[in-house]
Amino acid sequence: MNWRLIGVLALVVGLGKGAVSLFGVKSAVVGWAILLGAGLTCAIVLVLKAPARYFLHGFWTGFFSQVIETLLAAVFAGTYMTNNPDFATLVSQFPMSVNPRALLVVLAPLAGGFNGLLLGVFTWVVSKILGPDKPAATPAPPAEPPTVPPSV
């Protein structure tokens, strides 16, 4: 497992997606395009750079990036709720008073697991399409017959 690759991709994608969700993407089409673009980019980079185990590399990258994104929303909960009124409405509909930060912290690993499964499967599918570079099979040159010293 290439944990450095997983960490760098998760940090970059998590902070990027977190910034976009923090300031509220108003268009669902733009939001899905960003998610699909980030997922495709991660999957391609993982297939090209990871040594093997593409599903696991994708799973952990997706898990950590989603946790980073959700925790970023929890840290800036006021801004997140202002720019995402659907989430604010959802929190206000709970029968008891729920702290939005606590809800986001609890949801972070659950959302991370779901996102990890999606990116893991996506990375595995991309690995089947692209596949690692394998050298072309070339026949081995014929072996030279052993030289036998002349008998005296």
Asked whether residue 142 is assigned to any structural domain, the reply reads no
Per the structure, the complete domain to which residue 56 belongs is given by 3-130
Residue 135 pLDDT class (50, 70, 90 cuts): very low
Q: Name the strand (E) or helix (H) holding 59.
A: helix 54-75
Amino acid present at 80: Y
pLDDT value at position 136?
Answer: 45
Rounded CA-CA distance 62/10 in Å is 7
Neighbours of 137 (CB within 10 A): 5
Side chain identity, residue 96? M
CA 45/CA 37 separation, integer angstroms: 12
- Asked if the structure places residue 145 within a domain, the reply is no
pLDDT tens per residue, range 37-55 = 999 999 999 999 988 899 9
Quickly count: other Cβ atoms within 10 Å of residue 57's Cβ. 29
Report pTM.
0.79
The pLDDT score that the predictor gives to residue 64 is 96
Q: Which residue has the higher pLDDT, 101 or 95?
A: 101
In a domain, 72, yes or no: yes
The residue with tokens 């497992």 is: 1
Rounded distance between C-alpha atoms, residue 30 and residue 79, angstroms? 20
Report the distance separating Cα 74 and Cα 91, nearest Å: 13
| 14 domain residue, yes or no | yes
Judge whether 138 lies within some domain.
no
| Residue of 121 and 21 predicted with greater confidence | 121
Q: How many domains does the chain have?
A: 1
